[in-house]
Amino acid sequence: MLRIPCPFCGERDYTEFAFWGDASFPRPADPQELSDSEWSEHLFHRDNPAGQYLEYWHHALGCRGWFIIQRDTRTHLISPVCRGGEGRS
């Protein structure tokens, strides 16, 4: 079972959390200027890498805090946690 280390509450079962996507993918600087095809490309056409991956998580059934983890998609080994709003290392 996957255990996620919440930086606010400590380690908890993954069922308490909501996954919110790729934290390494840059967001558009001026989203209202994107065409429909550019939005489609941004939202739906992504790589699915094996290995280290930065992810946004929300502790939905706990403190409701947002944070970023680095997870290995092959082993589910989780490393550095960054609280929402803090810089990534």
Question: What CATH number does the domain containing 62 carry?
Answer: 3.30.2270.10
Domain-located, residue 60:
yes
Asked, for residue 54, whether it belongs to a domain, the answer is yes
The reply to whether 59 falls in a domain is yes
Predicted confidence (pLDDT) per residue in 15-24, tens digit: 999 999 888 8
The larger pLDDT score, comparing residue 60 to residue 89, is at 60
Looking at the 3D structure of the chain, how many domains does it have? 1
Task: Label residue 89 by pLDDT band (50, 70, 90).
Answer: very low
Whole-angstrom Cα distance, residue 89 to residue 31?
26
Residue 57 lies in a domain: yes
Q: Which domain holds residue 55?
A: 1-26+49-89
Which tens digits make up the pLDDT trace of 24-47?
A: 888 888 989 999 999 998 888 887
Q: In this structure, what is the dihedral angle of CA atoms 31, 41, 58, 30, given to the nearest 10 degrees?
A: -10
Q: Is residue 12 part of a domain?
A: yes
**The tokens of 83 are what?**
């609280």
Mean pLDDT of the chain: 88
In-domain check, residue 41: no
Tell whether pTM > 0.85.
no
